[in-house]
Amino acid sequence: MKRNFLFILILFLNANTMIGQKKTNHDLTCYANSLDVLEEVENDLFTVFSTNEKVTIAEELEVGEVVYEKMKEKHTIRTSGSDYDRVSEIMNALIKQISTFANPTSNENFSKYKPHYKIYIIESNEINAFTAGARIFVTTGIYNFCKSKDELACIIGHEICHNELGHIAEKIKKYKTASGYLGDELGAIANNIGSFLTQPFNQKNEGHCDLFGLDLARAAGYDACQNIQLWSRMNENNGEKDIFSIFSSHPYSGDRATCSKNHLKKNYNMNCNN
């Protein structure tokens, strides 16, 4: 009788947790350039040649360590100071909100990265941010480009989401698949995947991280409307694809501003006057 009561209680608590989680609609059709021809070919090839092998969190974290070591070789990395304290505070606030949302993806490791996140500031004029294995890298270029904590929160939230939505694992699996069919040993990952992972994700994944990153930022108390200001300002820069390496395969900034505005209106009834 006691065991039955405990079993029912556990089921109730789990159900209550799931019911209490927030769900938002991530409308990726908003992005006009969400998937280009090259990405379609890449995805088709991956579907044909990929195996059922799963990528573990431990593997993702190992890759993150490799990327970190490679960044240390090339750049000065800050892990202290007022700027670092600022991004660290923002990251921690965003991480706390992850489990309040229902899993918006098929990644079975969603919300399991939380204890592993680390953030760094890289001294570089390049306006960029990227992530690998729960390690988040923010350049001084993009840090200075952001005009507020709210804009930084949208950038950092975006990078967190690449982990949570399984995009890192997907990249590692694609790399493993490619290496295997090209005759390379899997050990080559340790030497080559750093540069592989610091390249932009496909545009569909970028768009998804924009929207879920907004969810996290808003839930953490930041002004998500400022994401629209950020991308609108980016869009004002002529030749942005040459200036901002973060855009090399990302959706156009104008699309990102519009889709962010639509997302906040549809899901939160927020009218962002930007």
For the stretch 190-230, pLDDT in tens is 455 555 555 667 778 888 999 999 999 999 999 999 998 88
- SS3 assignment for the chain: CHHHHHHHHHHHHHHHHHHHCECCCCCHHHCCCCCCHHHHHHHHHHHHHCCCCCCCHHHHHHHHHHHHHHHHHHCCEECCCHHHHHHHHHHHHHHCCHHHECCCCCCCCCCCCHHHCEEEEECCCCCCEEEECCEEEEEHHHHHHCCCHHHHHHHHHHHHHHHHCCHHHHHHHHHHHHHHHCCCCCCHHHHHHHHHHCCCCCHHHHHHHHHHHHHHHHHCCCCCCHHHHHHHHHHCCCCHHHHCHHHCCCCCHHHHHHHHHHHHHHHHCCCCCC
Average pLDDT over residues 81-94: 98
For 223-255, write each residue's pLDDT tens digit: 999 998 888 887 776 444 433 344 444 556 678
Q: What is the model's pLDDT at position 59?
A: 87
**What residues contact residue 265 under an 8 Å CB cut-off, 6+ apart?**
271, 272
Give the pLDDT mean for 171-188.
60
Band (5; pLDDT cuts 50, 70, 90) = low
Q: Is residue 119 within 8 Å of 163, Cβ to Cβ?
A: no
Question: Residue 44 pLDDT > 60, yes or no?
Answer: no
Establish if 6 belongs to a structural domain: no
Q: Long-range pairs for 70-74 at CB < 8 Å and ≥24 separation? A: 70/194, 70/195, 71/120, 71/122, 71/137, 71/194
How far apart (Å, rounded) are the C-alpha atoms in residues 161 and 214? 10
Q: Is the pLDDT of residue 50 over 60?
A: no
CB 87 within 8 A of CB 138: yes
pLDDT at residue 34 greater than cutoff 60? no
Domain assignment present for residue 12? The answer is no
pTM of the model: 0.82
In this prediction, residues 83-88 reach a mean pLDDT of 98
Query: Could you tell me if residue 85 is inside a domain?
Result: yes
As a whole number, the mean pLDDT across the chain is 79
Contact 210, 260 (CB under 8 A): yes
Considering the domain boundaries, does residue 14 fall inside one?
Answer: no
Residue-level pLDDT at 49: 46
- pLDDT level of residue 16 (50, 70, 90 thresholds): very low
- 119 vs 70, which has greater pLDDT? 119
From CA 48, how far away is CA 121, in angstroms rounded? 39
In this model, does residue 83 exceed pLDDT 60? yes
Residue 273 domain flag: no
Q: How many domains does the chain have?
A: 1
Q: What is the pLDDT of residue 186?
A: 43
Query: Which pLDDT does position 243 carry in this prediction?
Result: 35
As a whole number, mean pLDDT of residues 125-139 equals 92
What is the average pLDDT across 143-158? 96
- Does residue 132 carry a pLDDT above 60? yes
Considering only residues 104 and 12, tell me which one the structure prediction assigns the higher pLDDT: 104
Dihedral pair phi/psi, residue 35, rounded to 5°: -150, 115
69 located within any domain: yes
Residue 29 lies in a domain: yes
**Residue 195: partners with Cβ closer than 8 Å, 6 or more residues away:** 70
Average pLDDT value for residue range 54-78 = 89
Domain housing 176: 25-268
Residue 8 lies in a domain: no
Find how far residue 154's CA is from the centre of its chain.
10
CB burial of 87-113 (b: ≥16 within 10 Å; e: otherwise) equals bbebbebbbebbeebebbbebebbeeb
Which pLDDT belongs to residue 205?
A: 86
pLDDT higher than threshold 50 for residue 184: no
